[in-house]
Chain A
């Protein structure tokens, strides 16, 4: 099972890392904004191709190395877990190094050839764009919370029935492998963690809704379609995740109350299905957003262009803009969102839930 999950994750990461340069906005190349006239510059296309091929080659070399190591048969359970955790990180690290290299190359090209200089820079918005925003309403995110409250109530009613050892961790075989002493708090600690996550999804959905819908002055229609698609599918994907987490935690909690509720096969299959649905969901999300409005980017825009925001993007990855009240902004390298690091509320929303969950874990 460990190996299957590893293989799925490993090839998922390879695929996603390879696809990123082609899924981002065409006017942002390796975190650098380029004028629309240059977005299909053969050198930039070559950078993208070389990035993807390097990621693919690294992934294959690592994989073959692992195969050889596995065939030699000197793998213990412990080293297997270590290696299967380290390999995806190694791949991510190589991708990041590659990104840094091509970010520097693109920046150099832009500077040397003075792209976008002497162009009148514009910032634009459409007063009616908000009426077309299709993000889900907050109360949909509140629905799974009712399930959590129900589960907590159910646990309290059946408190006597609970085992003396409450499971807190489940191994790759779907069976619990870590326990804690039964007390009123540890009995409901996992639904409490679930509740914290549900609140987090609700808050992220609402703050994303309040964040800016950024339109391009020259490719207004293309950017509108992309931004609205990104917002809509982010909202749906978060809702799906919230529902799936609710189902998974509810199953686990019910299993704690009624020990032989599900067969061992089911205990193995449920978390696996959870992982598969999330991975498939994120692929659908990335492709939908990547394709949205991709054919609508205009290549004209003579004399005018978008305001160059490179100054706010440290390394093309981290957004610091004190003037922008947005808490989340669209990522420059990747599909999804990143924080406006100049806005302290963002830190609170992102790290607050993690801290709370750690506190709950600590006291359990």
Chain B
């Protein structure tokens, strides 16, 4: 799987890495049990600071997406059903709310939003790009 960052972007580099890894897992490029490269190898290959990759891995761990095992590295966690009211579900709800609120303020209609959601789901599930 290709990771591509834009060093001059407003989005922090660790955030770009986190987002792309999450998207890679959603698309099935990475599966549970797969291990991510070591922080050193990842940073050296991408040409970024080790702290940046480390920060991204810790963020993914905090979100329950990977597990950092001492010595064997970062492993992608198996996902079971996300329970309503669990901290992760609450966080997603909260983040969605921010985005949806902004969309409404900018004049997006409910149908438009639903259509958008369907398209994104379709893209993540079937488009391997």
List the interface of chain A (C-beta within 8 A of B): 120-130, 210-215, 217, 220, 307, 309, 321, 323-326
Contacts and interface: CB of A to CB of B under 8 A. Distances in A.
B46 A127 contact: no
Interface string B43-65: 11111111000000000000000
Contacts of B40: 210, 325
Interface of B: 1-8, 24, 30, 36-37, 40-50
Given A125-B45, A212-B44, 12 more contacts: A121-B8, A123-B5, A124-B4, A126-B3, A127-B24, A128-B1, A210-B41, A214-B47, A307-B7, A323-B49, A325-B44, A326-B44
Contacts of A321: 47
A122 B45 contact: no
Contacts, number: 75
A129 B2 CA distance: 9
A123 B48 contact: yes
Contacts of A129: 45
Q: Which of A122, A125, A130, A325 has the most CB of B within 10 A?
A: A125
Nearest to B42: A125
Contacts of A130: 37, 41, 45
Contacts of A324: 43-44, 47-48
A123 B8 contact: no
A122 B6 CA distance: 5
A126 B45 CA distance: 8
A188 B87 CA distance: 67
A98 to B, nearest CB: 30
B20 to A, nearest CB: 10
Contact of B3 (A120, A121, A124): A124
Contacts of B1: 126-128
B81 to A, nearest CB: 27
Q: Which of B5, B40, B44, B45 has the most CB of A within 10 A?
A: B45
Given A210-B41, A214-B47, A323-B49, A127 B8 contact: no
Contacts of B24: 127
A127 B44 contact: no
B2 A125 contact: yes
A211 B36 CA distance: 17
B48 A127 contact: no
A360 to B, nearest CB: 33
A326 B46 CA distance: 10
Given A126-B1, A127-B1, A121 B7 contact: yes
Q: Which of A120, A211, A212 has the most CB of B within 10 A?
A: A212
A211 B47 CA distance: 10
Contact of B2 (A120, A210, A214, A220): A220
A205 B50 CA distance: 21
